[in-house]
Amino acid sequence: MNAMGYDAMEIGNYEFNYGQGVLAERASQAEFPLLAANIMVTATGERPPFCQPYIIKEVMGKRIAIFGLITPDTPVVTHPKNVIGLTFLDPIETAAMLVPKLRPKAEFIIALTHIGYEMDRQLAEEVGGIHVIVGGHSHTKIDVPERVGNEGGNAIIVQAWEHGKVLGRLDLEMRGKAVVRFSGGLINVTADVPRRP
C-alpha cells in the first residue's frame, strides 16, 4: 500500500482481527494516515492512537477534506476481545456533526467509508455537503458512479467491488465547490494495467 502511494485509508472491521496492538503496529508502518471519525476510546472519549478522524490535503489548488467512517457492527463482526475499550459511534450522526466543521476548511469533502452500500446511500441522503463517498464493507460492484442526495447536496457514490479484482476510477469537473460533471467506472486488474510512475 505504501508502494501504491495511498493518500489515506479507512479502517475496516478486518483491521481489528489480530487485535489493537497489531493494528497500531501496521498504522506505524503506513506512510499514509488511517482514518475513522466514529471510533472513540471509551474511558477518555479521545481517538485511539492508530487513527485520526480526517485529513486536509491540497490537490490542484483545492483543499480537500477526507474523513473516515467504520461500521458500527465492528464489535460483532470481529472478536469482541479485539475491540475492548473502544466505542463505535453511529456513522450518520458522526458525519452530521463533522461535515459542518469541515466545510469552512475545505472546498471539497470526501467520505471514505466502511459501512456498506445501503448506509452510504443513507449518508448521502441525510448529510448534505459531502461531494464523494468512496465506500466499502458490502463488496458492492458499482459499475458506474451514482449520484444520491437531497436538497443539502448530491454525493457521488463509488465502490470498487472486492478483493482487488478491479480498480475504481472517478473523474470530476468542478466549478468552485460544485461538481458539474463526473464519469468513471471499474477497471479489471490484469497485467495490462500500467505501473504507477
CA atoms within 13 A on the CB side of 128: 5
pLDDT of the residue at 47: 95
What confidence tens digit (pLDDT) does each residue in 10-35 have? 999 999 999 999 999 999 999 999 99
Q: How far is CA 96 from CA 78, 107, 113, in A?
A: 26, 17, 14
Cell numbers representing residue 126 in the block:
441525510
Share of the chain above pLDDT 90, in %: 89
Cell numbers representing residue 193 in the block:
494495467
pLDDT band at 195 (very low <50, low <70, confident <90, very high): confident
pLDDT band at 66 (very low <50, low <70, confident <90, very high): very high
Q: Is residue 137 over pLDDT 80? A: yes
Q: Is residue 197 over pLDDT 70? A: no
pLDDT of the residue at 194: 81
What is the rounded distance in angstroms from the CA atom of residue 115 to the CA atom of residue 52? 17
Q: Is residue 113 over pLDDT 70? A: yes
What confidence tens digit (pLDDT) does each residue in 161-192 have? 999 999 999 999 998 888 999 999 999 999 88
pLDDT of the residue at 196: 67
Residues 6+ apart with CB under 8 A from 168: 134, 158, 159, 160, 184, 185, 186, 187
pLDDT band at 40 (very low <50, low <70, confident <90, very high): very high
